[in-house]
Chains A and B, each alone.
Chain A
């Protein structure tokens, strides 16, 4: 397929894959994945432990080599991008990592602005403004001068998401963003991501475990069945009781509640 394919003015895929194959230790996780996401779409990746959610996100971010197939970002093959140009295009939130050194919170957010003026030794005033705005958006502006090693897990996660906001890229890949967050912050973070998709035409792809949390937020879902099979599409078509039950290995019921759908695990007999 030609890399320079004609792309329409609107709605061209921000990211797409062609027959992408992922495997780990000889086990196929994802087979022949044909998937694309467009501006304004909010995708959630659903699957059991070890189904390949993290591997898929890392591969799409360019941190892991796929076992076959190709990934294009903005119509260009992933290997053709320079790291710097790619950093302007997509951001990646890994699962919580340990901090080895005592950086201040503001430093970690400023680090995400590296791709804007990589040639400069010091960040510009606009970088500082963006970093402070991102901290404010996540409600952690009061922690700006704290040593990251003294933060709680939830605070650290919010700072990491703030860094991602400061990177201000079109595509955001998030590995379990709700991890370690309390209920209020889970909900507000999801609302923020949803708003970014709707109002600023960002594209979000996030791995999640809590189906109810993403309801009303995610527009699309990608189900990894764990054996290489996958299902992708709008939420209504994919997040059905039948498919979710097979995907998660446990029967799921969809319950109507005040006009919204709740996903309830069927109790064990």
Chain B
């Protein structure tokens, strides 16, 4: 960083208002988090009701890569790796969707579920379970439910997405989403009360969010990486939208198009995450919050950072859910909520004391 930076002396501990230092800082944070992500996945592979010695990690991985895991550590590794990767994709999707939803609604308290996308998925998934469908049918039901609610929401609140919300008026899209979510909630209750006892446990686990049934699927990863690539290119306009709302248009942003793109990206991510793991709460709320708190509100940094942090958080939470009362498995959604609530409260109070 050899450019003379006039702002350097005012930077203080935050550092990096200068052009190059801002970029360098972003690269550093993302690099550190990538290492942490790798570490969290390895930890998830090693920990569990039956431990895998670290010494056998390499040989086990080699067996998996050859495509024929035979030894016990290798079989365990393969199972746990698949689950950890699914957890990572789910957590990363939820955190990224959370950042986008908060920007779209210009409300730091929004989360990926606030507009009812996950409630739609619940209705679809529970309906499939009620009809005793196979696992893939539950997944398909969840995705169709999420897609249906998203489409309905889009049609009802199109105007709001295009024009932005007038100051002081309750945003149409938020109210529409909340009401749709309430309607879906009623349907879920109805189905739970009608369900036979045998399928009730599976339903409750699904509603809490559970990764035990999650398989390695390339689809959530594909959705995640495509959306990340799109959103990274829009980091600056997203900042302007978060900052100025519809007045961002006077700074040169095509606000309507950006809002629609954010809506589609966020709902797609949510649908994909909920489909593979049920509605795991709090990841999409506290991870974006924590990242903003720690690294600032610049979306060029926040988007990749929240994605990685969300993945790490869910991998660790799921490892905890598997090991805490092993061999008993807890629904990971309960674990994230139990961690999330106190952390969020702490953050909130620290923020307001400042």
Contacts and interface: CB of A to CB of B under 8 A. Distances in A.
Interface in A155-190: 167
- B106, B108, B252, B298 — which one has the most chain A CB atoms within 10 A of its CB? B252
Interface in A222-243: none
Contacts of B237: 114, 118
A100 B107 contact: yes
Interface string B166-180: 010000000000000
A108 interface: yes
B253 A83 contact: yes
A107 B11 CA distance: 13
A248 interface: no
Interface stretch (B13-21, B66-74, B187-195, B202-210): B13-21
B251 A106 contact: no
B327 interface: no
Nearest to B246: A63
A129 interface: yes
A94 B108 CA distance: 22
Contact of A83 (B18, B106, B252, B298): B252
Contacts of B350: none
B344 to A, nearest CB: 16
B301 to A, nearest CB: 11
B19 A94 contact: no
Interface stretch (B2-10, B80-88, B334-342): B2-10
Interface residues of B, number: 41
A123 B5 CA distance: 13
Contact of A132 (B7, B106, B245, B253): B7
Given A107-B298, A114-B240, A125-B3, A100 B108 contact: yes
Nearest to A85: B252
B12 interface: yes
Contacts, number: 109
A269 to B, nearest CB: 37
Interface string B221-253: 000000000000101110110111111011111
Given A102-B297, A107-B239, A123-B19, A62 B249 contact: yes
A125 B19 contact: yes
A84 interface: yes
B23 interface: yes
A265 to B, nearest CB: 29
B191 to A, nearest CB: 37
A86 interface: yes
A108 B3 contact: no
B251 A145 contact: no
B183 interface: no
Given A104-B296, A107-B243, 13 more contacts: A63-B246, A86-B252, A100-B242, A101-B297, A103-B298, A111-B251, A114-B236, A114-B237, A114-B252, A121-B236, A122-B300, A144-B7, A144-B10
11 contacts: A83-B253, A92-B247, A100-B107, A102-B296, A104-B296, A111-B239, A121-B233, A121-B300, A128-B17, A129-B6, A144-B7
Interface of B: 3, 5-7, 10-12, 14, 17-19, 22-23, 106-108, 167, 233, 235-237, 239-240, 242-247, 249-254, 292, 296-298, 300, 354
